[in-house]
Copies of this chain bind each other. A is one copy, B any other.
Amino acid sequence: MLESIALGMLLENDLTGYDIKKFIENGIGVFYKASFGSLYPALKRLTEKGYLTTRDKPQGSRKKIFYHITEEGRKQFFHWLSSPMDIFEGTNTHLAKVYFFDHLEAEIRSQQLLEYEINNRNYLKKLRELEKGFTELDNKECFSPLFITESALRRKPSAGVVISVCRNR
């Protein structure tokens, strides 16, 4: 996953590992977070596979390594990008806990759900801010099919995740 994202970040410009981290934080970071401990090894692997080449451009005595995507890398990236989006059935860790909530005292339960709601509200706010910046882009037409926002959600709940729990006893 991180490998694909790193490739994607390098489509238009050569960047350093540090740059890539920044770009991830400021953009795709809402959906995906990366640490240096995973990023640097990933870049190393991509270089070994021939998807990236490196150029050392030290600035002063500060080490700087720019990564450049190869044709192979591009091919690999577009292969990933074109493959179907799988919905996240599997490891929805933060919801798993709810399954056991009948074991919890009503008070703590309510408090946790309230907290959860607040966190989600904040997340939503963050997404709305992103969306706001988004509507100001000039190349909107590239994104139009991606406008699956709250209003769309109201009509088509498929894009949202409905929380519903069952335990069979």
* A108-153 interface (Cβ within 8 A of B): 108-110, 112-113, 115-117, 119-121, 123-124, 127-128, 130-131, 133-134, 137, 139, 142-143, 145-150, 153
Taking residues whose C-beta sits less than 8 angstroms from the other chain, chain A's interface range is 35 or more
CA distance A8 to B143 in the complex (A): 43
A119 touches B86 (CB 8 A): yes
Copies of the chain in the assembly: 2
Known pairs A1-B91, A87-B120, A102-B143; list 14 more (Cβ under 8 Å). A8-B103, A28-B99, A31-B92, A33-B89, A78-B103, A84-B115, A85-B116, A86-B119, A98-B146, A133-B166, A133-B168, A134-B166, A150-B157, A161-B161
Give the B-binding residues of A (Cβ under 8 A).
Answer: 1, 5, 8, 11, 26-28, 30-33, 78, 80-82, 84-104, 106, 108-110, 112-113, 115-117, 119-121, 123-124, 127-128, 130-131, 133-134, 137, 139, 142-143, 145-150, 153-154, 156-169
